[in-house]
Structure 1
């Protein structure tokens, strides 16, 4: 017997690396040293920093991968993978530098996983970071044929004096929400249960989704906020805090960017809940509190800014094709949200 008899095709693995090489190289920044295939990726720190701080993040895509595998559409989940990591790193004010991926599968399907890596490369370009390397593991008996899982790892950089840690946030700051592109990559297990228990097919097109199929609605990739937010800071918008609205929604994530003894009072009528979430709540009979604690409800990222810059900030992000709206303000408190369910 040999390794192939055990279900692992080493030659297919090498061929896969050759197939994705150009995708990976297309993301390289000038600081990348060497190419694909070494034991480690090498990256030279950018110049111009006095006290550089490296910021790291890691995440996955979760059970959204199940939808991609059911529909045999693998071109967008790689964007999700990058987005979940780089948006986290961005909240410190950091610029993502490079990204690493880990792909595990039951049997290596070159065409399937090339689509995945193409998505990862596309996400890295949207974030301005290099896909520095990764690992592909063929694990027969652990994953079924056609199944795969993804994990991502990102490193960013920020000048220490520009790093956001909550201490810059002031009472009176306004919370500016940046719109999400659907559910992103959180709460998908509940989405799948609602679809399954409701007897729906992923190809169905409910009236509330305005012609979009259920599968299309929930495979929309997570929006990457890196370039517009960094550009806003360069344009003079004074950002005191940032929150990536991921698992746990607004109640769990928004307080994470506050300083001590601060709370955000939310105006729940300041934005329109997208139809995707309305459909989930209606079909699944999900209470408001459960919806807000599970999903982003149309808000993917939040900035805390001085009140005198509200109009400038909203105009800036609107010009970047990202809907933005003021949803509340920072008040004295105990680190929670007020007014969300009033």
Structure 2
């Protein structure tokens, strides 16, 4: 009787050599994101970062997120570079709401079998997102777990850390009745609502390359989440920003109240900006109610800045100078009953 062949990690489905090769390929990507404070490079057991000087009472702000089932569309379309930008955006836009400057980012890439070409494309996007946000890709983890994921699939998580002067932390305390709501345009659905989007695609039977206003549906759906770091940093140099709200899952309906004091609500005029064609198409094809659309999608507004009413024009000009489309979408008013957001249809 023949004795069984000796087992190895490779025969169990884990390719150590491929993992090492990936690390070598992404080292230049990580170096391209370095900023003052980075000590050493990737490959160690931990990333080192020296805190900036000049802070009297520095407060660290951290955030973590993923990109949800948008990953499944990226896998189907075999478009992997943009999803890395999404990952960074969802984390840094969140910590930006507290007034933090992003300092560094870590990623977690998990798969059943490592495809170094796909992984490198994803991490190329992560590095691009870090450059846009001005933070360093300080390290990460690649986990190859046979049997955990179907062939060709992977999952992502990201972790961002930023810093803010304690006296400059943005909270709801500064918000006042009459403040202006400045809506900053999104680049699409960002990374939210894709479970519903995928259901709508199944129901409609739409081909990925149908055209909406001259753009392919698949390109609109996979367009990376916009990163607002530089625009908001520039805005805060020009006007007093009372609060910020990152419009993610839950839309304006659920995200704006998180940045407001209990006595105030956001009165929004939906006619103050043009809802992008993508959302109109999704609503029609899925027969989704307007109320549901508002509590699932951003509908074209990815970030809201709350500023004094008299500063609204200066705020618009600053954001436009930073390359953003922005609109006055409403005002803060005294809250009636328990409505955090009132749409003035």
**Larger CA deviation: 241-250 vs 328-337:** 328-337
Matches within 5 A, 1:33-44: 33-44=39-50
Q: Is 1:90 aligned to residue 92 of structure 2?
A: no
CA contact (8 A) 1:255 1:335 kept: no
CA contact (8 A) 2:234 2:322 kept: no
Cα separation, 2, equivalents of 1:238 and 1:145: 51
Which aligned runs of 4 or more in structure 1 are off by greater than 2 angstroms? Answer: 334-339
Cα separation, 1, equivalents of 2:227 and 2:342: 28
Pairwise CA distance, 1:229: 0.4
Cα separation, 1, equivalents of 2:172 and 2:48: 32
Gaps of 5+ in 2: 1-6
Match of 1:337 among 314, 337, 340: 340
Name the counterpart of 2:232: 229
Q: Is 1:280 aligned to residue 282 of structure 2?
A: yes
Equivalent residues, number: 338
Distance change in 2, residues 1:312/1:341 (3 Å): closer
**Larger CA deviation: 239-248 vs 26-35:** 26-35
Matches within 5 A, 1:179-328: 179-205=185-211, 209-234=212-237, 236-328=238-330
Cα separation, 2, equivalents of 1:329 and 1:199: 40
> Larger radius of gyration, structure 1 or 2?
2
Secondary structure of 1:339's counterpart equals: strand
Secondary structure of 1:103's counterpart equals: strand
Query: For residues 171-219 of structure 1, what are the alpha-carbon distances to aligned partners after superposition, in whole Å with 9 as ceiling and x for unaligned?
Result: 11110000000110000111111111111222232xxx12212111100
Match of 2:57 among 30, 47, 51: 51
Pairwise CA distance, 1:341: 6.2
Q: Is 1:127 aligned to residue 129 of structure 2?
A: no
Pairwise CA distance, 1:145: 1.7
Pairwise CA distance, 1:305: 0.2
Query: For residues 236-286 of structure 1, what are the alpha-carbon distances to aligned partners after superposition, in whole Å with 9 as ceiling and x for unaligned?
Result: 211000000000000100011112311111112211111010000111111
Cα separation, 2, equivalents of 1:320 and 1:294: 28
Cα separation, 1, equivalents of 2:216 and 2:45: 43
Q: What's the TM-score once normalised by structure 1's chain length?
A: 0.97
Pairwise CA distance, 1:98: 0.3
Gaps of 5+ in 1: none
Name the counterpart of 1:158: 164
Cα separation, 2, equivalents of 1:308 and 1:140: 58
Secondary structure of 2:291's counterpart equals: helix
